[in-house]
Structure 1
Amino acid sequence: MPAVADLDLEALNSATKYPSILTYHELDPKNGGLLDTATPFSGDVILTEKVDGTNARIIALPGGDYLLGSREELFYARGDRVWNSRLGIVEALRPLADRITSPHYGIRVYYLEVYGGNKISAASRQYTGGTTLGYRLFDVATVEPSVLDLPLSGIASWRDGGGQFFYTEDDLTEIAAAADIETVPRLATVAASELPTDIEGMHAFLTHHLSTTLVALDAGAGGRPEGIVLRSSDRTAIAKARYQNYERTLQLRAKQR
């Protein structure tokens, strides 16, 4: 595989972006609330904490090279003397990227949430009372190098069509353990039939499974969690349920009564 200097970075950036996750209940474009339509799940559903920070990527290449970036941009390549310091991603992830084992073939992408710090997100104070940065791994994927030879429009279509190969829950756990990376907290595994399909029920479900964050970085953290990510064990369905969306919806409905 070519060195970083010889890669088409636009192609690499596009091929390794993390796909959007829909809300568990459909968003109402009229008022930002939620509609009654819920995402269908089947089989076992894994619940994990959704951490409110900024999405980040470690793009590991054969031979030891790597790049770091946010969800949309690449910020740093191994050996750079100057890098984009925005969002604290490079500061938080460079030591980790330096010690991750390189893949023998292909492009391995580690997707992490970087959180806390100094105003990484509006919720930073919920995780730290100071400026401590943290990160948690939430997914890992492999991308075939040949994908980078496609035109950018083709790469986008490939990605949006589910072309990235994501590891299963068991494999993700093994990869995280081998690399000594903490994952986002696993809360529970429930049967799809246990998932509430109504707004009030899902709000109560959130409170039951995650009333306070499990990834606070110090004693000064506010502790309010963002929500939960729901993922079928075979990755056929993924959705997010955020406290803010359900609280807004319930408030809107109360006003309409």
Structure 2
Amino acid sequence: MRSPVARIELRTVDLRAINSMTKYPSIPTYHTLDPRDGGLREECVEFTGPVILTEKVDGTNARVVVLPDGSYLIGSREELLYARGDLIGNPALGIVDALREVAEALRVTAADDRVTVFYLEVYGGKVTGASRNYTGSRRVGHRLFDVAVLDGPGSLLDWPAERISAWRDAGGQRFLPEEDLLDRAREFGLATVPRLDTVAADELPREVDKTHAFLTGRLPRTLVALDGPAGASEGMVLRSADRTVIAKARFQDYARTLRRRGGRG
């Protein structure tokens, strides 16, 4: 019988299963989106204790997946684009070019029967229509925003795709809490998405209009411009220190909602 480590070697692993189990889960909006018109309702995500506020960078979600045998995969949010040793990688959005050297450095995190996934936002260049807010010369940057550790993942490789998706959506991935995440970033010299503040949960605004003002007051422009004048930020991510509760607040959602209500957006 093969050991769990052998089953997760890049040469033999089921890449479809690895892709599914390492995808980044969807993050809810801080205020609930109305499915009828995309506007925001007044109901919001409940936090307790300290809440960490970080900038939400408008780029593309990317990941570096480090396998137990020291090999790695680079992927976008939806698909795997490159495996260590490939002669040709999928050039989608410049992700592989931006992260190949990072992935080589992260190989040292390989450990028996464990998969570690580093999630980074790749931005600038021609990544999104908002790239002009970060660069005037098409520079490309990246920022670490989460790290997941999947212990004993061998058993998941035998699951059907639907079961893996359900496991992921139910919070099956173990994400590093704030301090461990920052320690890992410092260890590898990786810039993280900017930390804006840490506030008590009861200091968070609960109304849509007040949340819009909260965003505007704390993040009038991006903090991660690569060159030239800083443009608008996409918004903010709110998370508990242990990363068990997380939500996003995007400027465009609040501006659109307030315009529809006849307010100022």
Q: TM-score range by the shorter chain?
A: over 0.9
Q: Equivalent residue for 1:128?
A: 135
- Residue 11 of structure 2 aligns to a residue whose secondary structure is helix
Q: Equivalent residue for 1:225?
A: 233
Give how far 1:145 is off: 2.2
Q: Equivalent residue for 1:103?
A: 110
Of residues 141, 147, 156, the one that matches 1:140 is: 147
Give how far 1:222 is off: 4.6
Q: Equivalent residue for 1:240?
A: 248
Q: Does 1:69 align with 2:75?
A: yes
Of residues 95, 100, 108, the one that matches 1:89 is: 95
- Worse-superposed segment, 1-10 or 182-191: 1-10
Sequence identity (%): 56
Contact 1:129 1:222 in 2 (8 A): no
Q: Distance in 1 between the 2:101 and 2:121 partners? A: 15
Q: How many residues align?
A: 253
Give how far 1:122 is off: 1.4
When the two chains are superposed, the root-mean-square deviation of aligned CA atoms in Å is 1.2
Of residues 97, 122, 125, the one that matches 1:114 is: 122
Of residues 204, 215, 221, the one that matches 1:212 is: 221
Per the normalisation by structure 1, the TM-score is 0.96
Structure 1 unaligned blocks of 5 or more: none
Give how far 1:40 is off: 0.8
- Residue 84 of structure 1 aligns to a residue whose secondary structure is coil
Of residues 56, 66, 69, the one that matches 2:62 is: 56
- Worse-superposed segment, 100-109 or 11-20: 100-109
Per the normalisation by structure 2, the TM-score is 0.93
- Residue 260 of structure 2 aligns to a residue whose secondary structure is helix
Q: Deviations over 1:220-251 (max 9, x none)?
A: x4511000000011222110000000000110
Contact 2:146 2:176 in 1 (8 A): yes
Which AA in structure 2 matches 1:175? Answer: R
Q: Does 1:155 align with 2:164?
A: yes
Contact 2:62 2:122 in 1 (8 A): yes
Give how far 1:99 is off: 1.4
